[in-house]
Structure 1
Amino acid sequence: MDHPTIGILHPGSMGAAVAACAATNAAAVLWCADGRSAASTTRAERFGLEPVPTLQELLDRCDVVISLCPPAAAEDLAREAAGYRYRGTYVEANAINSERAVRIAGLLEPAATVVDGGVVGSPPVNGKTPTLYLSGPISGTERVEALFEGTAVRTKVLGGDIGQASALKLSYAAFQKTSRVLVALATGLAREHGVDQELLAIASHRSDSYLAEPEYVAKTAQRAWRWGPELKEVADMLEAAGLPPQMLRAAASTLARWHEAKDDGELTLTDALNRLAQP
């Protein structure tokens, strides 16, 4: 089995734990200590990562580089790697949109092989097993799959196009993270009126995720003419309680795109999604 040298950019809570898993099938896992915080150093030491003084040395030594950094820094980091003419496999695993993933591939190719990646799940510690979704050239995705074989990081290849893994990551994040914000708003509003415990009691009767019920999208579209004004009322109450109303106003605006679907019992999921995309 190939035992490549791996580089991680940068060892945050997710990156360091993912890199530590990669160490199972790697000759070494490096990170660049230049300009990083004391917390990054402590984290890297805890996961057994080997420090190198400069990014250029890391790139020169590494067969595979995994970029897991704050999304805003992803392109600058890739541009810096391209400036050093990196020639290995570059795994762009940040939570960025598909267009940015394609731009990053354009910066690094053809010298490097770029793999688009997206991690779904918690860092692989304490029994957690996230999935690293991959897309891009088969030579690159196969290498990354081999790197995590037998580790707590599961891998799944989605296809050959850069941007597919990023699209899946952000599609899931759109629901998962926004739903957490909605929980905060709903709970805050209920608490303002002294009914938060009753809200929790209502919610406890249902534990399934709405994301697993795409067939309900058509029913949502059929009822949008009623639900939109209802959410505007919610937004007004949030504002009166000193809570941010913008998310609910945006949801009401989204529902307005389905106004013509009022009580259309023949509406399908495909019809509803088409109307949502083409107001």
Structure 2
Amino acid sequence: MPQQPVVGILHPGSMGAAVAACAATNADSVLWSTAGRSAASAARAGQFGLTPVATLPELLDRSDIIISLCPPAAAEDLVRDVAEHGFTGVYVEANAINPERTTRIAGMLEQGSTVVDGGVIGSPPVRGKTPTLYLSGPATATARIEELFVGTAVQTTTLGTEIGKASALKLSYASFQKTSRVLVALAVGMAREHGVDQELIEVASRRTDSYLAESEYVAKTAERAWRWGPELEEAADALEAAGLPSEMLRAAASTLARWHDAKDSELTLTDALDRLAQP
């Protein structure tokens, strides 16, 4: 029987920690580096049974597979550290970044590592949720990642061998899903200003396939704005690279910036709308 791989996760956020915990099903162990991480990260990693190591170099030395799931802005800084250390395993670039950045990152690691492009669509794999990890890249490496998640709540689908495909699918979906949630907040906010927000919600409830019928999600949108805004900027960059207009997504990202301090808050719909109207 083949030896199970050691997996390292960069960094154990709400999605990363849950995905890493699923990987542990078919891994020898799943490591994370405590260096520079918050008490909240430590608590989350402990909750999911991840194994702490003191430094990033130790994590890289011990890992066969690295999964990078971090805020988009940090993706290239992280990979520089990984490249400088000379990591030679499989590196899964699973951040919500545009295909050009993913290709650039693959080039930074081409001397020793094998890069797999990844994109997670769906909620973290907890409480019955089953997100899909889309993959693209060298066939042998994508097969290893598929094997890592066999029998877990993380589904996998390989899109081919071209780096950038998984990132493009992730951002294509995010550009619709996240911008739609922003439009809901604006619509409810405008209706509230004129005292017809309950009527709007009633009208929307007749269309069960409409995000507008889920006004309670506005508070969740606010709490996730710190992450969603940069993702939409990445999607806007991808649109520009494809010769498509990006103004709508940039405007949605600018709207999300009004909630920049709502991370980890427990907001009500009223709280979220108040912050949106008076940042």
**C-alpha spacing 1:39/1:192, structure 2 compared with 1 (3 Å):** same
Equivalent residues in 2 for 1:229-248, closer than 5 Å: none
Q: CA deviation at 1:247?
A: 5.3
Q: CA deviation at 1:199?
A: 1.2
> Does structure 1 retain, via aligned residues, the 8 Å contact 2:175–2:249?
no
* Greater relative CO, 1 or 2 (CA 8 Å, sep 6+): 2
Q: CA deviation at 1:248?
A: 10
Q: Could you tell which deviates more after superposition, 193-202 or 38-47? A: 193-202
Q: CA deviation at 1:110?
A: 3.3
Aligned-residue RMSD, C-alpha: 1.8
Equivalent residues in 2 for 1:1-279, closer than 5 Å: 1-208=2-209
Q: 1:30 is matched by which residue type in structure 2?
A: L
Q: CA deviation at 1:197?
A: 1.6
Q: Distance in 2 between matches of 1:10 and 1:120?
A: 18
Q: 2:153 is matched by which residue type in structure 1?
A: A
**C-alpha spacing 1:33/1:250, structure 2 compared with 1 (3 Å):** closer
> Does structure 1 retain, via aligned residues, the 8 Å contact 2:179–2:249?
no
> Does structure 1 retain, via aligned residues, the 8 Å contact 2:116–2:163?
yes
Q: 1:134 is matched by which residue type in structure 2?
A: L
Q: Distance in 2 between matches of 1:190 and 1:69?
A: 36
Q: Distance in 2 between matches of 1:249 and 1:59?
A: 36
**Which of structures 1 and 2 has the bigger CA Rg?**
1
**C-alpha spacing 1:127/1:74, structure 2 compared with 1 (3 Å):** same
1:217 aligns with none
Flag structure 1 segments of 5+ consecutive residues without an equivalent: 211-245, 252-279
Q: CA deviation at 1:150?
A: 0.3
Q: Distance in 2 between matches of 1:54 and 1:202?
A: 54
Secondary structure in 1 matching 2:162: coil
Q: Distance in 2 between matches of 1:247 and 1:120?
A: 21
Q: Distance in 2 between matches of 1:249 and 1:18?
A: 29
Q: 2:208 is matched by which residue type in structure 1?
A: S
Secondary structure in 1 matching 2:31: strand
1:264 aligns with none
What percentage of aligned pairs have identical amino acids?
72
Q: 2:104 is matched by which residue type in structure 1?
A: R
Secondary structure in 2 matching 1:78: helix
Q: Distance in 2 between matches of 1:110 and 1:142?
A: 21
Deviations 1:223-246 (A, max 9, x none): xxxxxxxxxxxxxxxxxxxxxxx8
Secondary structure in 2 matching 1:165: helix
**C-alpha spacing 1:249/1:133, structure 2 compared with 1 (3 Å):** closer
Secondary structure in 2 matching 1:184: helix
